[in-house]
């Protein structure tokens, strides 16, 4: 079940809210937990046991850390619980690709080196593990107190708004709301508004671009125009799909009385690659910074060479976290790590670039990296890269020309306009109709209503980040 589906909008959500608001305040975490587990089990019931098991292991480890007076024991307990979480994630994410790599190296078309039946990645596992690790580290640091109520902690981990694809919500952000929160009509209305905007982003902009992206990334030799159209479409699709999901999650959180952190801040307007990572998937980039780059690797405290190594390791591990079906995500992380190192060296040497060219160069690097992120494997990425650098001819192919239907043009133009608009003087000044309170109140309702009409006539593709 996905947020952008009729079964969620017309069945799960109204029934859940009915039970939730009829439940006395002190028992609402229990209702939230049961509803979240049902939400997860609706999709993959057999993997719910895994999520519950990791939740209990993390909960118990945090209590033992909190109760212990021994610093060594605390560290060992934290490390052990983190390793259990990471081992489960590594198994489900990379067992297939490691076995496939070994079979490619040592096997033959007629005989596999390792007999293997493909395993499937449980949805929500990646985000569950990140939530568990941040909680364990914060308890070990003493920045949060261990939650002794299993139902409360389980509700934090399994909360259905952020369960499947984030945003990553640190325990300390919602710790107070877990204990006490009250209904606010104003916050509920704000949450509904954000949900409607995210829903429209997904259905009206991201979804129509999906067939065009699939067409280009499965071509044997896309031309320069074809490959850049496909990459541009994917750049827009991924942003509006994932940012739309995040807005829906934040909106649902507000309806329940929780305030999640922002996850996207106009990333394609970034003036540098560092700025891009301050704007894109903010909760993941800050997680990588705080729990990996600084806490584990040492950040930039040990000289320039070590800083460059730490940047490369952080982004490569971030790529591995995304991966599973191929090594493409590791390459994607490596590209961003190299870009961050290059930008840092460029700044240290005292060079500067005009904002326009810096923004353009940043966007090109991001888009080239999206190519390997989207491609099915490295061979497919090389094919599209070849097209982007003009190795497969220049002219638009017949298949792409036929695929460019009016709905795709409309989604593409609307997506570009929504990306550019926040950086315009009109948006910054709040001038004209777009800045009026009446327009701000009306347009999400109109967009949501139209998106709902569109959804009734088609099947909305799953959110792209569900695969991670």
Give pLDDT tens digits for 329-375: 999 999 999 999 999 999 999 888 899 999 999 999 999 999 999 99
User: Whole-angstrom Cα distance, residue 82 to residue 132?
Assistant: 8
Q: What is the pLDDT of residues 15-64, one digit of tens each?
A: 999 999 999 999 999 999 999 999 999 888 889 999 999 999 999 999 99
Asked if the model's pLDDT at residue 147 lies above 90, the reply is yes
Residue 454 lies in a domain: yes
With respect to residue 294, please indicate whether it lies within any of the assigned structural domains.
yes
- pLDDT for 426 equals 63
Q: Are 201 and 283 in contact (CB under 8 A)?
A: no
3-state SS of 232-261? HHHHHHHHHHHHHHHHHHHHHHHHHCCCCC
Distance between CA atoms of residues 436 and 428, nearest Å: 13
Same structural domain, 160 and 253: no
CB atoms within 10 A of CB 230: 27
Give the tokens for residue 166. 């984030």
Distance separating alpha carbons of residues 59 and 73, to the nearest angstrom: 16
Q: Per the residue annotation, which of 131, 162, 281, 322 is the catalytic one?
A: 322
> Which three-class secondary structure string do you get for 171-227?
HHHHHHHHHCCCCCHHHHHHHHHHHHHHHHHHHHHHHHHHHHHHHHHCCCCCCHHHH
Residues 254 and 369 in one domain: yes
Question: 101 pLDDT band (50/70/90 cuts)?
Answer: confident
Is there a domain that residue 1 lies in? no
Q: If you average pLDDT over residues 113-118, what whole number do you get? A: 82
Domain boundary among 182, 199, 224: 182
Instruction: Look at residue 214 and tell me if it is in a domain.
Output: yes
The answer to whether residues 256 and 404 belong to one domain is: yes
The count of structural domains within the chain is: 2
Q: 140: closest CA among 260, 85, 261, 58?
A: 58
Query: Do 172 and 248 reside in the same domain of the chain?
Result: no
Q: Which of 125, 149, 182 is the last residue of a domain?
A: 182
| Residue at 146 is within a domain | yes
In a shared domain, residues 122 and 210? no
Structure tokens at 256: 């329940």
CA-CA distance, 264 to 283, in Å (whole number)? Answer: 9
- Is 336 assigned a catalytic role? no
- Domain extent, residue 363, equals 187-467
Shared domain for 164 and 288, answered yes or no, is: no
- Tokens representing residue 407 in the block: 């709905």
Given pLDDT bands bounded at 50, 70 and 90, which one contains residue 142?
A: very high
Cα gap 60→62, rounded to integer Å: 5
If asked whether residues 163 and 218 sit together in one domain, one would say no
Point out the least confidently predicted range of 73-87, 305-319, 369-383, 432-446.
432-446
| Over residues 223-227, mean pLDDT | 96
For residues 102-126, give the mean pLDDT.
83
Q: How does residue 433 score in pLDDT terms, banded at 50, 70 and 90?
A: low
Q: Are 170 and 199 found together in one domain?
A: no
Task: State percent of the chain over pLDDT 90.
Answer: 77
Q: Which of 149, 182, 215 is the last residue of a domain?
A: 182
């Amino acid at each position: 079940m996905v947020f952008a589906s009729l079964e969620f909008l017309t069945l799960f959500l109204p029934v859940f809210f009915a039970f939730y608001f009829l439940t006395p305040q002190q028992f609402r975490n229990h209702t939230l937990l049961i509803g979240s587990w049902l939400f997860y089990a609706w999709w993959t019931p057999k993997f719910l046991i895994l999520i519950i098991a990791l939740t209990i292991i993390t909960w118990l480890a945090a209590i033992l850390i909190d109760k212990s007076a021994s610093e060594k024991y605390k560290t060992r307990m934290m490390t052990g619980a983190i390793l259990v979480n990471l081992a489960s994630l590594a198994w489900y994410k990379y067992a297939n690709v490691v076995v496939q790599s070994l079979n490619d190296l040592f096997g033959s078309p007629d005989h596999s080196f390792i007999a293997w039946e493909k395993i499937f990645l449980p949805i929500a596992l990646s985000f569950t593990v990140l939530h568990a690790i941040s909680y364990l580290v914060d308890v070990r640091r003493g920045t949060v107190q261990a939650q002794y109520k299993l139902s409360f902690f389980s509700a934090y981990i399994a909360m259905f708004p952020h369960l499947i694809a984030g945003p990553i919500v640190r325990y300390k952000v919602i710790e107070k709301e877990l204990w006490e929160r009250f209904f606010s009509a104003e916050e509920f209305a704000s949450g509904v508004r954000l949900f409607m905007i995210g829903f429209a982003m997904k259905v009206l902009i991201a979804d129509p671009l999906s067939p065009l992206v699939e067409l280009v990334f499965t071509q044997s030799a896309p031309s320069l125009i074809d490959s850049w159209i496909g990459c541009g479409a994917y750049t827009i699709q991924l942003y509006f799909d994932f940012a739309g999901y995040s807005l829906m999650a934040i909106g649902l959180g507000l309806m329940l009385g929780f305030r999640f952190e922002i996850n996207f801040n106009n990333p394609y307007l970034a003036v540098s690659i560092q700025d891009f990572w301050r704007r894109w998937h903010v909760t993941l980039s800050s997680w990588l910074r705080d729990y990996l780059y600084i806490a584990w690797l040492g950040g930039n405290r040990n000289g320039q060479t070590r800083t460059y190594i730490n940047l490369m390791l952080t982004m490569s591990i971030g790529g591995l976290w995304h991966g599973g079906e191929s090594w493409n995500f590791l390459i994607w992380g490596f590209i961003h790590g190299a870009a961050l190192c290059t930008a840092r060296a460029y700044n240290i040497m005292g060079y500067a670039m005009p904002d326009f060219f810096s923004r353009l160069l940043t966007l090109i690097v991001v888009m080239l990296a999206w190519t390997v992120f989207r491609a099915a494997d490295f061979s497919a990425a090389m094919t599209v890269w070849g097209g982007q650098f003009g190795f497969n001819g220049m002219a638009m192919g017949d298949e792409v020309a036929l695929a460019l239907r009016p709905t795709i043009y409309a989604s593409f133009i609307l997506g570009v306009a929504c990306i550019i608009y926040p950086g315009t003087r009109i948006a910054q000044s709040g001038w004209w109709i777009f800045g009026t309170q009446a327009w701000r109140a009306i347009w999400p309702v109109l967009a949501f209503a139209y998106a709902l009409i569109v959804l009734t006539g088609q099947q909305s593709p799953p959110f792209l980040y569900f695969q991670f």
